Amino acid sequence: MNRDALIARLSTVVGIPVVPYDETGAIDHPLLADLIRRLVDRGVTALTPNGNTGEFYALSPEERRAVLKTVTDAAAGSAVIIGGVGLDIATAVADARFARDAGADAIMIHQPVLPYLSPEGWVDYNLAIAAAVPEIGVVPYLSTPIVTGRQIARLIDGAPNVVALKYSVPDPVVFATTRSEVAEHTASEVLWIAGLAESYAPAYWQGGARAFTSGLVNVVPEKSLAMLAALQRGDAGGAEELWRSIRQFEYLRARDRSADNVSVVKEAMQQLGLCRREVRPPSAPLTAAARDEVRESIAEWATAGAPVGAGA
Protein backbone atom coordinates (compact mmCIF):
# COMPACT_ATOMS: atom_id res chain seq x y z
CA MET A 1 0.00 0.00 0.00
CA ASN A 2 1.29 3.43 -1.00
CA ARG A 3 -0.27 5.53 1.76
CA ASP A 4 0.17 8.95 0.16
CA ALA A 5 -1.07 7.76 -3.23
CA LEU A 6 -4.16 6.17 -1.67
CA ILE A 7 -4.99 9.34 0.28
CA ALA A 8 -4.69 11.33 -2.94
CA ARG A 9 -7.08 8.94 -4.73
CA LEU A 10 -9.58 9.15 -1.86
CA SER A 11 -9.57 12.95 -1.91
CA THR A 12 -12.66 13.16 -4.06
CA VAL A 13 -16.37 12.34 -4.14
CA VAL A 14 -16.72 8.92 -2.54
CA GLY A 15 -19.82 7.42 -4.14
CA ILE A 16 -21.95 4.95 -2.18
CA PRO A 17 -23.74 2.86 -4.84
CA VAL A 18 -27.23 1.48 -4.36
CA VAL A 19 -27.98 -2.21 -4.74
CA PRO A 20 -30.72 -2.79 -7.34
CA TYR A 21 -33.15 -5.68 -6.93
CA ASP A 22 -34.97 -7.61 -9.62
CA GLU A 23 -38.68 -8.46 -9.67
CA THR A 24 -38.09 -11.40 -7.29
CA GLY A 25 -36.29 -9.29 -4.70
CA ALA A 26 -32.86 -10.74 -5.49
CA ILE A 27 -29.88 -8.54 -6.26
CA ASP A 28 -29.74 -7.66 -9.96
CA HIS A 29 -26.01 -8.05 -10.53
CA PRO A 30 -25.97 -7.27 -14.28
CA LEU A 31 -27.81 -4.01 -13.60
CA LEU A 32 -25.52 -3.24 -10.65
CA ALA A 33 -22.54 -3.62 -12.98
CA ASP A 34 -24.20 -1.29 -15.51
CA LEU A 35 -24.85 1.31 -12.79
CA ILE A 36 -21.22 1.16 -11.67
CA ARG A 37 -19.97 1.62 -15.22
CA ARG A 38 -22.33 4.59 -15.56
CA LEU A 39 -20.75 6.21 -12.49
CA VAL A 40 -17.21 5.56 -13.68
CA ASP A 41 -18.00 6.81 -17.18
CA ARG A 42 -19.34 10.03 -15.67
CA GLY A 43 -16.19 10.69 -13.66
CA VAL A 44 -16.72 9.07 -10.24
CA THR A 45 -13.37 7.65 -9.16
CA ALA A 46 -14.06 6.33 -5.64
CA LEU A 47 -16.76 3.84 -4.67
CA THR A 48 -17.84 2.20 -1.42
CA PRO A 49 -19.83 -0.97 -2.07
CA ASN A 50 -21.71 -2.13 1.03
CA GLY A 51 -22.15 1.34 2.45
CA ASN A 52 -25.35 2.57 4.06
CA THR A 53 -26.87 3.66 0.74
CA GLY A 54 -26.07 0.12 -0.39
CA GLU A 55 -28.32 -1.29 2.37
CA PHE A 56 -25.41 -2.97 4.16
CA TYR A 57 -27.49 -4.15 7.09
CA ALA A 58 -30.18 -5.67 4.86
CA LEU A 59 -27.78 -7.94 2.96
CA SER A 60 -26.66 -11.44 3.87
CA PRO A 61 -22.92 -12.20 4.18
CA GLU A 62 -23.00 -13.94 0.80
CA GLU A 63 -24.80 -10.98 -0.80
CA ARG A 64 -22.31 -8.48 0.61
CA ARG A 65 -19.42 -10.39 -0.88
CA ALA A 66 -21.15 -10.78 -4.23
CA VAL A 67 -21.86 -7.03 -4.32
CA LEU A 68 -18.22 -6.25 -3.54
CA LYS A 69 -17.06 -8.51 -6.35
CA THR A 70 -19.53 -7.11 -8.89
CA VAL A 71 -18.59 -3.50 -8.10
CA THR A 72 -14.86 -4.21 -8.17
CA ASP A 73 -15.07 -6.07 -11.47
CA ALA A 74 -17.31 -3.47 -13.10
CA ALA A 75 -15.07 -0.58 -12.05
CA ALA A 76 -12.18 -2.42 -13.76
CA GLY A 77 -9.46 -0.43 -12.02
CA SER A 78 -10.96 2.95 -12.94
CA ALA A 79 -12.06 3.73 -9.38
CA VAL A 80 -10.60 3.21 -5.94
CA ILE A 81 -12.74 0.61 -4.13
CA ILE A 82 -13.45 0.90 -0.41
CA GLY A 83 -15.42 -2.13 0.72
CA GLY A 84 -17.83 -1.62 3.60
CA VAL A 85 -17.40 -4.05 6.51
CA GLY A 86 -18.82 -4.21 10.00
CA LEU A 87 -20.93 -6.07 12.59
CA ASP A 88 -18.94 -8.31 14.98
CA ILE A 89 -15.15 -8.34 14.71
CA ALA A 90 -14.94 -11.85 13.25
CA THR A 91 -17.46 -11.02 10.52
CA ALA A 92 -15.77 -7.70 9.75
CA VAL A 93 -12.36 -9.34 9.54
CA ALA A 94 -13.65 -12.07 7.22
CA ASP A 95 -15.29 -9.49 4.94
CA ALA A 96 -12.17 -7.29 5.04
CA ARG A 97 -9.97 -10.16 3.94
CA PHE A 98 -12.43 -11.05 1.19
CA ALA A 99 -12.39 -7.43 0.00
CA ARG A 100 -8.60 -7.42 -0.02
CA ASP A 101 -8.45 -10.64 -2.01
CA ALA A 102 -11.10 -9.38 -4.44
CA GLY A 103 -8.97 -6.36 -5.29
CA ALA A 104 -10.36 -3.63 -3.05
CA ASP A 105 -7.95 -0.82 -2.25
CA ALA A 106 -9.36 -0.18 1.22
CA ILE A 107 -12.16 -1.01 3.62
CA MET A 108 -14.61 1.30 5.35
CA ILE A 109 -15.44 0.04 8.85
CA HIS A 110 -19.02 0.82 9.83
CA GLN A 111 -19.48 2.24 13.30
CA PRO A 112 -20.49 -0.62 15.63
CA VAL A 113 -24.26 -0.88 16.10
CA LEU A 114 -24.13 -2.02 19.71
CA PRO A 115 -26.26 0.25 21.94
CA TYR A 116 -23.38 0.65 24.41
CA LEU A 117 -20.44 2.20 22.59
CA SER A 118 -17.30 2.95 24.58
CA PRO A 119 -14.85 5.39 22.99
CA GLU A 120 -11.91 3.17 23.90
CA GLY A 121 -13.86 0.14 22.69
CA TRP A 122 -14.39 1.89 19.37
CA VAL A 123 -10.63 2.27 19.05
CA ASP A 124 -9.98 -1.38 19.93
CA TYR A 125 -12.67 -2.55 17.49
CA ASN A 126 -11.10 -0.66 14.59
CA LEU A 127 -7.56 -1.67 15.60
CA ALA A 128 -8.48 -5.35 15.52
CA ILE A 129 -9.99 -5.14 12.05
CA ALA A 130 -7.22 -2.95 10.64
CA ALA A 131 -4.57 -5.37 11.92
CA ALA A 132 -6.16 -8.18 9.90
CA VAL A 133 -5.57 -6.41 6.56
CA PRO A 134 -2.31 -4.46 6.82
CA GLU A 135 -1.89 -4.58 3.03
CA ILE A 136 -4.81 -2.23 2.28
CA GLY A 137 -6.14 1.08 3.55
CA VAL A 138 -8.67 1.44 6.35
CA VAL A 139 -11.32 4.14 6.68
CA PRO A 140 -13.20 4.05 10.02
CA TYR A 141 -16.72 5.48 10.05
CA LEU A 142 -17.51 7.71 13.02
CA SER A 143 -20.91 9.25 13.74
CA THR A 144 -20.75 9.90 17.48
CA PRO A 145 -19.11 12.87 19.22
CA ILE A 146 -18.16 10.80 22.28
CA VAL A 147 -15.07 9.58 20.43
CA THR A 148 -12.59 12.42 20.82
CA GLY A 149 -9.49 13.47 18.95
CA ARG A 150 -7.30 11.80 21.56
CA GLN A 151 -8.89 8.41 20.87
CA ILE A 152 -8.74 8.89 17.12
CA ALA A 153 -5.04 9.71 17.44
CA ARG A 154 -4.49 6.46 19.36
CA LEU A 155 -6.15 4.56 16.52
CA ILE A 156 -4.08 6.32 13.85
CA ASP A 157 -0.82 5.63 15.71
CA GLY A 158 -1.78 2.01 16.35
CA ALA A 159 -2.85 1.22 12.79
CA PRO A 160 -0.57 2.66 10.08
CA ASN A 161 -3.05 1.59 7.38
CA VAL A 162 -5.73 3.96 8.68
CA VAL A 163 -5.55 6.48 5.85
CA ALA A 164 -8.81 8.40 6.34
CA LEU A 165 -11.72 9.03 8.68
CA LYS A 166 -15.31 9.14 7.47
CA TYR A 167 -16.63 11.69 9.95
CA SER A 168 -20.42 11.91 10.18
CA VAL A 169 -21.20 13.91 13.30
CA PRO A 170 -23.70 16.61 12.17
CA ASP A 171 -21.82 19.48 13.78
CA PRO A 172 -19.11 21.35 11.85
CA VAL A 173 -17.74 22.90 15.06
CA VAL A 174 -17.32 19.50 16.71
CA PHE A 175 -15.65 18.27 13.53
CA ALA A 176 -13.14 21.13 13.42
CA THR A 177 -12.42 20.77 17.13
CA THR A 178 -11.91 17.02 16.86
CA ARG A 179 -9.62 17.36 13.87
CA SER A 180 -7.54 19.95 15.71
CA GLU A 181 -7.30 17.70 18.75
CA VAL A 182 -6.10 14.80 16.62
CA ALA A 183 -3.29 16.98 15.26
CA GLU A 184 -2.22 17.75 18.82
CA HIS A 185 -1.77 14.07 19.66
CA THR A 186 -0.25 12.52 16.52
CA ALA A 187 2.04 13.62 13.72
CA SER A 188 0.46 11.19 11.26
CA GLU A 189 -1.72 12.72 8.57
CA VAL A 190 -5.05 11.26 7.55
CA LEU A 191 -7.70 12.35 5.10
CA TRP A 192 -10.92 13.64 6.64
CA ILE A 193 -14.00 12.68 4.63
CA ALA A 194 -17.25 14.56 5.24
CA GLY A 195 -19.51 11.57 5.78
CA LEU A 196 -22.81 13.46 5.63
CA ALA A 197 -22.58 14.03 1.90
CA GLU A 198 -23.19 17.22 -0.08
CA SER A 199 -25.40 18.85 2.55
CA TYR A 200 -22.46 19.23 4.94
CA ALA A 201 -19.58 19.19 2.47
CA PRO A 202 -19.09 23.01 2.25
CA ALA A 203 -19.10 23.48 6.03
CA TYR A 204 -16.80 20.53 6.63
CA TRP A 205 -14.49 21.71 3.87
CA GLN A 206 -13.91 24.86 5.91
CA GLY A 207 -12.92 22.65 8.84
CA GLY A 208 -10.37 20.68 6.83
CA ALA A 209 -12.26 17.85 5.07
CA ARG A 210 -10.98 17.23 1.57
CA ALA A 211 -13.47 14.62 0.39
CA PHE A 212 -17.13 13.81 0.91
CA THR A 213 -19.39 10.81 0.55
CA SER A 214 -22.38 10.83 -1.76
CA GLY A 215 -25.57 8.89 -2.42
CA LEU A 216 -26.65 11.62 -4.81
CA VAL A 217 -24.10 10.36 -7.35
CA ASN A 218 -26.41 7.44 -8.06
CA VAL A 219 -28.92 9.92 -9.46
CA VAL A 220 -26.95 12.81 -10.93
CA PRO A 221 -23.18 12.44 -10.48
CA GLU A 222 -22.52 15.69 -12.32
CA LYS A 223 -23.90 17.69 -9.38
CA SER A 224 -21.61 15.99 -6.88
CA LEU A 225 -18.51 16.36 -9.04
CA ALA A 226 -19.32 20.01 -9.74
CA MET A 227 -19.56 20.69 -6.00
CA LEU A 228 -16.19 19.02 -5.44
CA ALA A 229 -14.64 21.16 -8.18
CA ALA A 230 -16.12 24.34 -6.68
CA LEU A 231 -14.76 23.50 -3.23
CA GLN A 232 -11.35 22.63 -4.61
CA ARG A 233 -11.02 25.95 -6.41
CA GLY A 234 -12.34 27.93 -3.43
CA ASP A 235 -15.52 29.01 -5.23
CA ALA A 236 -17.85 29.48 -2.26
CA GLY A 237 -20.56 31.03 -4.41
CA GLY A 238 -20.52 28.16 -6.87
CA ALA A 239 -20.66 25.60 -4.06
CA GLU A 240 -23.61 27.41 -2.50
CA GLU A 241 -25.48 27.49 -5.80
CA LEU A 242 -25.00 23.75 -6.20
CA TRP A 243 -26.01 23.18 -2.58
CA ARG A 244 -29.26 25.05 -3.19
CA SER A 245 -30.00 23.01 -6.29
CA ILE A 246 -29.88 19.73 -4.34
CA ARG A 247 -31.21 21.01 -1.01
CA GLN A 248 -34.77 19.70 -1.38
CA PHE A 249 -33.68 16.26 -2.53
CA GLU A 250 -31.21 15.95 0.34
CA TYR A 251 -33.85 17.23 2.77
CA LEU A 252 -36.17 14.41 1.74
CA ARG A 253 -33.38 11.92 2.38
CA ALA A 254 -32.59 13.36 5.82
CA ARG A 255 -36.17 13.85 6.99
CA ASP A 256 -37.35 11.86 10.03
CA ARG A 257 -33.80 10.94 11.02
CA SER A 258 -33.03 9.66 7.51
CA ALA A 259 -35.84 7.10 7.57
CA ASP A 260 -36.25 7.32 3.78
CA ASN A 261 -32.63 7.95 2.85
CA VAL A 262 -32.22 5.00 0.50
CA SER A 263 -35.88 4.95 -0.53
CA VAL A 264 -35.65 8.51 -1.87
CA VAL A 265 -32.53 7.71 -3.89
CA LYS A 266 -34.08 4.60 -5.41
CA GLU A 267 -37.35 6.38 -6.12
CA ALA A 268 -35.47 9.06 -8.04
CA MET A 269 -33.58 6.39 -9.94
CA GLN A 270 -36.79 4.63 -10.91
CA GLN A 271 -38.29 7.91 -12.11
CA LEU A 272 -35.18 8.45 -14.24
CA GLY A 273 -35.31 4.90 -15.61
CA LEU A 274 -32.21 3.64 -13.83
CA CYS A 275 -33.43 0.89 -11.50
CA ARG A 276 -36.41 -0.36 -9.53
CA ARG A 277 -37.54 1.50 -6.41
CA GLU A 278 -37.73 -1.52 -4.08
CA VAL A 279 -35.83 -1.47 -0.79
CA ARG A 280 -35.54 -4.02 1.98
CA PRO A 281 -36.58 -3.64 5.62
CA PRO A 282 -35.72 -1.78 7.79
CA SER A 283 -36.16 0.72 4.94
CA ALA A 284 -39.67 1.03 3.48
CA PRO A 285 -41.27 2.13 0.20
CA LEU A 286 -42.31 5.76 -0.10
CA THR A 287 -45.92 6.85 0.06
CA ALA A 288 -47.53 8.26 -3.07
CA ALA A 289 -47.22 11.76 -1.61
CA ALA A 290 -43.52 11.28 -0.94
CA ARG A 291 -43.00 10.00 -4.48
CA ASP A 292 -44.51 13.22 -5.76
CA GLU A 293 -42.10 15.18 -3.56
CA VAL A 294 -39.18 13.30 -5.08
CA ARG A 295 -40.52 14.00 -8.58
CA GLU A 296 -40.64 17.72 -7.82
CA SER A 297 -37.16 17.72 -6.30
CA ILE A 298 -35.56 16.17 -9.41
CA ALA A 299 -37.67 17.91 -12.05
CA GLU A 300 -34.65 19.74 -13.45
CA TRP A 301 -32.62 16.52 -13.67
CA ALA A 302 -34.91 14.71 -16.09
CA THR A 303 -32.19 14.38 -18.72
CA ALA A 304 -29.63 13.02 -16.26
CA GLY A 305 -30.87 9.46 -16.18
CA ALA A 306 -29.30 7.89 -19.27
CA PRO A 307 -31.43 4.77 -18.70
CA VAL A 308 -29.53 1.55 -18.18
CA GLY A 309 -32.24 -0.67 -16.74
CA ALA A 310 -35.81 -0.88 -15.50
CA GLY A 311 -38.01 2.16 -16.04
CA ALA A 312 -40.73 3.74 -13.97
Query: What amino acid positions are annotated as catalytic residues?
Result: 141, 166
Count of alpha carbons within 13 angstroms of residue 308, beta-carbon side: 21
**3-state SS of 33-53?**
HHHHHHHHHCCCCEECCCCCC
End-to-end CA distance of the chain: 43
Contact assessment for residue 191 and residue 7, using Cβ atoms and an 8 Å cutoff? yes
Rounded alpha-carbon distances, angstroms, from residue 8 to 128, 210, 257: 25, 10, 32
Please say whether the beta carbons of 155 and 140 come within 8 A. Answer: yes
CA distance linking residue 249 with residue 194, whole number of Å: 18
